[in-house]
């Protein structure tokens, strides 16, 4: 997997880039016929090593879907990380803000890892 192109694209676009899963697969595993959950998890780990996160946090397996790739150290990246942590705590029933996702129901699905 070579994600240098993706890392540079994110850097050039000031810490965020919208990419198709088809484009990401091209650099992750061009020989693969389709994306699997396991491959998407591996892609997420590799992007994490480069200091990048995605939104949605769990990558879709459809090549027709688009995701945002975000520089983890950016203000937006830090905000997504905090929100993802809150979503994980909420899923465990331990949210410090118990009704937060009542007002933002669509956000929960994009932040779960």
Q: Best-predicted range by mean pLDDT among 42-51, 94-103, 104-113?
A: 42-51
Give phi and psi for 43, each to the nearest 5: -60, -45
Check whether 74 has a pLDDT greater than 90: yes
**Token reading at 49:** 């090593």
Q: What is the pLDDT of residue 55?
A: 92
pTM of the model: 0.83
Distances (CA, A) of 57 to 31, 33, 53, 69, 96: 24, 23, 7, 10, 21
**Three-state SS at 47:** helix
Distances (CA, A) of 37 to 27, 41, 62, 66, 70: 17, 6, 10, 16, 20
Mean pLDDT, to the nearest integer, of 67-81?
A: 93
**Interatomic CA distance for residues 111 and 113, integer angstroms:** 6
> Dihedral, CA atoms, 42, 72, 2, 34, nearest 10 degrees?
40
Q: What is the pLDDT of residue 113?
A: 58
Tens of pLDDT along 8-57?
Answer: 889 888 899 999 999 999 998 889 889 999 999 999 999 999 999 999 98
Q: What is the pLDDT of residue 92?
A: 86
């Amino acid at each position: 997997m070579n994600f240098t192109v993706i890392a540079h694209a994110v850097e050039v676009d000031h810490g965020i880039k919208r990419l198709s899963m088809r484009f990401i697969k091209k650099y992750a595993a061009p020989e693969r016929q389709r994306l699997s959950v396991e491959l998407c998890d591996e892609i997420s780990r590799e992007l994490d090593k480069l200091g990048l996160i995605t939104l949605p946090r769990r990558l879709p397996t459809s090549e027709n879907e688009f995701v945002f790739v975000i520089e983890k150290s950016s203000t937006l990246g830090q905000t997504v990380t905090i929100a993802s942590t809150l979503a994980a705590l909420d899923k465990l029933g331990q949210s410090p803000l118990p009704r937060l996702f009542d007002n933002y129901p669509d956000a929960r699905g994009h932040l779960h890892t």
